[in-house]
Structure 1
């Protein structure tokens, strides 16, 4: 009898990439793997060895939403979450149910934003596959020790005042975030799944049997009341043989090894307006004894033309060989993509972060809380703010030391091998009969 898995990912690079790594490991162990995601991601899914299944068009919307004007603050949660994740949930759930009807599976692994998986929880535990939540972003489970997700507030050090503050914030959040709570409750009622029953909307995520967070405890808030199924595996890193071979630009070997190298990027999603982070960084560092490596996240380098003539210490490429680049980097300036932050910390690179949209308000506070860098608390920093932060990180070795410590923790994490070990144990130890067909 072969084991069968279905993986579900919302259509975005930062979601599909980590789940494709998981799919590849399952395939290597002889699992039959199908992956449900957006039509634009067929190539990376098939490259992992998994079978590709396209989301219906009405659920394949996240990339187009992300390309539009980004919302910030409470609007990101109320309107952004409802539009990006709750609205596609019903058609995504129907597609998942059809896949399982066509061929049952032992386990469904889903990214934390794939709310269509909630359709499975309309059935008793022994009548559905095992489920695994894949934490491709900061953990959002409510806790007496943390403020509500989306507010970008780090825990206070003193326990009693911290818990009193958090209790008040959760009460307030259920009022100001009433639209997203109502929207999610309507969807849950429509599919027959348990409602929120007054819980914070992010707590819908802890229904899965295993809550696999793709980070290490050193980069996440401690929760004394964490869900029992929460486990940390570190970032999902593809085997070296599967890492895309990116050409090294001619200027790479001309970098002066005696000068600090600052790498600035706005990632692969929020990179339509380079005046947000790249522009202020280039301006701030123009007259410093540093070198600046800019990547445009796949966009043509001509996209930087709106910034005007670039200073002589700036070097530009669409992509760079990231491991080689980060091995030489002294500071990363970024808007805070979860995967990119972990890539930097794997190399012990300290961070200056400027992000206030999507989940970046939460990734920014993790950088601050973990001590691996400086949080500028805005998505549009001034050149003066960037310059001060970069100089502070270069002058104070504590940030680099802490980034190195987190990097050591990442290197020691069990990664995709440990995750799939636990998935296999979960399926093996489940009390219900296997749902796969005889091979």
Structure 2
């Protein structure tokens, strides 16, 4: 039976991209998907077959160059940003879906508007984890703030403000937010259970389906190098990539080497300000990541979860240069599982080059990647997620 499914996601590529194969699979099965999100994501969601519903864009300050120090104070600021956005969007979501009621609301764990919408419409809610899931045995919060619990004033205050707003809006059910999620009857996790910290502690409410990249493999004008060429892909993602000094270090480390390098510098770094670009480099704001990873020999990455999962799905070894706490957790897990290495805090050009060379040539890493690729295939991807959702709705 055809169902109407609403997907409420955080407007960030690392949160949207993992959901698109699921959207595509649901539409292929005959369901109707409505995806309310900001205008820049219109083509992505309509390309997956969903109905686009425009929401206001998030107001994000321009980040200064350098790494982001993820402090409890920053958590409070993030919480206020989420509350402000929820106040803006919840009335629009209600107005939209009261006229066109969904059978279920699938929501990103960073979006409290999702469970609030489901509660106010009295429909089931399904939580989508695009990063590590949390339960009573493991919480991503502990990775970001080692040694601190949820009672720290900045964290407790952030969560209390979100829950107070939910109560003011007429929502009586528990609402999780930021890094204190509340488990639903069904929670879809877009990574394999083996990659999850404390993976065996999660019960049947959590379905680990792994990553999917179907529908995002387009080359978008990018021409891969000749077969047999060693290709290094360098990217710090789409959010925290204002690191001109790091990109200059990459030019120094790999310029004139046997590597062919595709380097994504984002939209905040001035290409001309990087200096002369070596002939073996192709530098763009962004590349079609799944297509490049499909040909890459190694990936120098910020270790965002979306990038990490896409690299594992392609079987590409990683050298991690995380920019924040969540990415540090991903990098640690990659190293623990023998899937890549993490750079020291202040690498030299020689260390950068030597680490990439070592990872690309390490037979144990290659074997571990091949094993993880099988784990990912067995997890089922988007079809397994759609199966779980249909079971719930049946």
Is 1:387 matched up with 2:344? no
The answer to whether the 8 A contact 1:36-1:53 is kept is: yes
Q: Which protein has the larger Cα radius of gyration, Structure 1 or Structure 2?
A: 1
Deviations 1:295-314 (A, max 9, x none): 345x59x9432221133443
Alignment map for 1:153-168 (pairs within 5 Å) = none
The answer to whether the 8 A contact 1:4-1:107 is kept is: yes
Is 1:135 matched up with 2:129? yes
Distance in 1, Cα, partners of 2:103 & 2:185: 13
Structure 1's consecutive aligned runs of 4 or more residues displaced over 4 angstroms after TM superposition are 120-123, 194-197, 317-324
- Say if 1:325 and 1:179 are closer, same or farther in 2 by CA, change over 3 A: same
Aligned to 1:232: 208
Aligned to 1:182: 160
204, 221, 233: which one aligns with 2:197: 221
218, 226, 240: which one aligns with 1:244: 218
What SS is found at the alignment partner of 1:294?
strand
- Say if 1:6 and 1:172 are closer, same or farther in 2 by CA, change over 3 A: closer
Note the C-alpha offset of 1:149.
4.0
- Say if 1:93 and 1:320 are closer, same or farther in 2 by CA, change over 3 A: closer
What SS is found at the alignment partner of 2:40?
helix
| Root mean square deviation of aligned Cα | 3.3
Aligned to 2:181: 204
The answer to whether the 8 A contact 1:353-1:374 is kept is: yes
Is 1:408 matched up with 2:381? no
What SS is found at the alignment partner of 2:248?
helix
**Alignment coverage as a number of residue pairs:** 392
- Say if 1:84 and 1:399 are closer, same or farther in 2 by CA, change over 3 A: farther
Deviations 1:117-152 (A, max 9, x none): 2324656xxx7212111112232x144356734427
Distance in 2, Cα, partners of 1:19 & 1:106: 18
Distance in 1, Cα, partners of 2:288 & 2:37: 27
Distance in 2, Cα, partners of 1:147 & 1:325: 30
Deviations 1:222-278 (A, max 9, x none): 245425411111113234xx64342234x823x7x3x643221122333344333x3
Give the gaps of 5 or more residues in structure 1.
154-168, 429-439
Aligned to 1:268: 238
The answer to whether the 8 A contact 2:72-2:154 is kept is: no
- Say if 1:317 and 1:78 are closer, same or farther in 2 by CA, change over 3 A: closer
The answer to whether the 8 A contact 1:67-1:270 is kept is: no
Give the gaps of 5 or more residues in structure 2.
none
Aligned to 1:368: 335
- Say if 1:108 and 1:232 are closer, same or farther in 2 by CA, change over 3 A: same
- TM-score of the superposition, structure 2-length normalised? 0.85
Alignment map for 1:99-118 (pairs within 5 Å) = 99-118=96-115
Distance in 2, Cα, partners of 1:90 & 1:413: 37
- Say if 1:71 and 1:365 are closer, same or farther in 2 by CA, change over 3 A: same
- Say if 1:320 and 1:151 are closer, same or farther in 2 by CA, change over 3 A: closer
Distance in 2, Cα, partners of 1:107 & 1:151: 31
392, 395, 399: which one aligns with 2:365: 399
Distance in 2, Cα, partners of 1:192 & 1:381: 52
Aligned to 2:271: 304
Distance in 1, Cα, partners of 2:217 & 2:295: 19
* Structure 1, 284-293 or 188-197: larger mean CA deviation: 188-197
Distance in 1, Cα, partners of 2:138 & 2:84: 31
The answer to whether the 8 A contact 2:111-2:177 is kept is: no
